[in-house]
């Protein structure tokens, strides 16, 4: 297999490569959404996936997501990219069923056995989710990219759309933050083996258990925390519901080594752009440091679900998340009435 480090083939890895949210918003504001009988108009403007209502058929969740390398091992890269794409379906309350692979491959730099390993990693991870990779499309590209286009199904009465979030809902996060700074350290070769293994484990963990727990607890809404960071994705959730939120910074779970990496300057550009995006809409308590802020905006890849659940069912949700083996089940804030999309961050 090629000796080329996959992370050297991209100037940024994983979901940190997303187009900045401010740029995307500027473009989308100029476009009038196309109405269609199959497309659920009740979904919010920045949902994780489309909700498709086939006349006389099932309600479907439809998404596409692909990333550049965030790790050097090809099979692991394929698995992480697949988990990241499947997460968009889980964030809507859906169950992934079938997928197509999307790949840009630098044939002049990598051997074909690298491509085979990427496809194998994605196929096997999707199979663990009960989702078949039925085909796909590959092009020659100067930069390696891989992901999935996924179709799942969902109970139409329990779609976890942004528009269903309610004032008073508690916000529960199911994976620790810090993937962005960990990826930066891994690319620079300064992440130790134990920390690297933990970082990869977080990204490869499916959000199926989190989704099942959210539906069982009759949660109102959810989003997955990926390239726009916790605060960016929370802002989009709140915009969908026309509400505001309060977040307790010290309640947010973090990878144990993330703070040290950030304090040493290991912050990806995508995370810094995320903080710039949310700062005009966020009031940070003066006691919070710049590192506190950057970690809350850190660009995640295959991050956890952020679930909005009514207060009487918070304990039930957390118990079910623990039983499902999720990597975190932390209550990190609450939804409140206020200017849409604004956030208050307390210590």
Residues identified as active-site? 15
Q: Please, what's the largest Cα pairwise distance for the chain?
A: 57
How many CB atoms lie under 10 A from the CB of residue 319? 13
User: How do 50-53 and 145-153 pair as beta strands?
Assistant: unpaired
Sequence-distant (≥ 6) Cβ neighbours of residue 279 within 8 angstroms: 293
- Tell how strand 330-336 and strand 170-173 pair up: antiparallel
Angle (CA) 190-194-198 rounded to 5° is: 100
State both tokens at 139: 């092009």
CA distances in angstroms from 147 to 12, 68, 137, listed in the order given: 16, 9, 10
Residue 60, beta-bridge partner list: 52, 153
Kindly compute the dihedral angle of the four CA atoms of residues 36, 40, 44, 48, in this order, to the nearest 10 degrees: -100
Q: What is the Cα–Cα distance from 223 to 230, expressed in whole angstroms?
A: 10
Tell me the two tokens of residue 76: 């692991």
CA distances from 7 to 20, 119, 123, 275 (A): 20, 17, 21, 24
Length of the chain equals 347
Cα–Cα distance, 57 to 293 (Å, whole number): 45
């Amino acid at each position: 297999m090629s000796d080329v480090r996959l992370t050297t083939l991209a100037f940024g890895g994983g979901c940190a490569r997303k187009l900045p949210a401010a740029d995307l918003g500027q473009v989308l504001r100029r476009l009038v959404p196309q109405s269609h009988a199959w497309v659920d108009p009740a979904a919010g403007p920045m949902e994780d996936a489309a909700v498709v209502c086939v006349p006389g058929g099932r309600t479907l969740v439809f998404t596409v997501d692909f990333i550049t390398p965030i790790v050097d091992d090809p099979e692991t890269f394929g698995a992480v990219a697949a988990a990241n794409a499947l997460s968009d379906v889980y964030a809507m309350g859906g169950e992934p069923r079938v997928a197509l692979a999307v790949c840009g491959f630098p044939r002049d730099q990598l051997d074909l056995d690298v491509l085979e390993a990427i496809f194998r990693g994605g196929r096997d991870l999707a199979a663990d989710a009960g989702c078949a990779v039925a085909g796909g499309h590959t092009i020659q590209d100067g930069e390696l990219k891989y992901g999935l286009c996924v179709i799942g199904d969902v109970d139409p009465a329990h779609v976890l759309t942004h528009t269903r979030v309610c004032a008073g809902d508690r916000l529960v996060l199911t994976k620790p933050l810090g993937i962005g700074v960990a990826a930066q350290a891994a690319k620079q070769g300064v992440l130790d083996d134990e920390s690297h293994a933990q970082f990869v484990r977080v990204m490869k963990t499916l959000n199926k258990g989190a989704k099942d727990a959210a539906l069982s607890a009759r949660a109102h809404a959810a989003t997955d925390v990926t390239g726009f960071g916790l605060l960016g994705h929370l802002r989009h959730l709140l915009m969908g519901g026309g509400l505001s939120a309060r977040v307790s910074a010290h309640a947010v779970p973090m990878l144990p080594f993330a703070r040290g990496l950030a304090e040493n300057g290991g912050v990806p550009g995508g995370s810094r752009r995320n903080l710039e995006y949310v700062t005009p809409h966020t009031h940070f308590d003066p006691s919070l440091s710049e590192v506190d802020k950057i970690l809350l905006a850190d660009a995640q890849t295959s991050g956890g679900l952020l679930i909005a659940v009514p207060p009487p069912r918070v304990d039930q949700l957390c118990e079910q998340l623990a039983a499902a083996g999720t990597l975190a089940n932390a209550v990190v804030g609450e939804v409140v009435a206020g200017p849409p999309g604004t956030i208050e961050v307390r210590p």
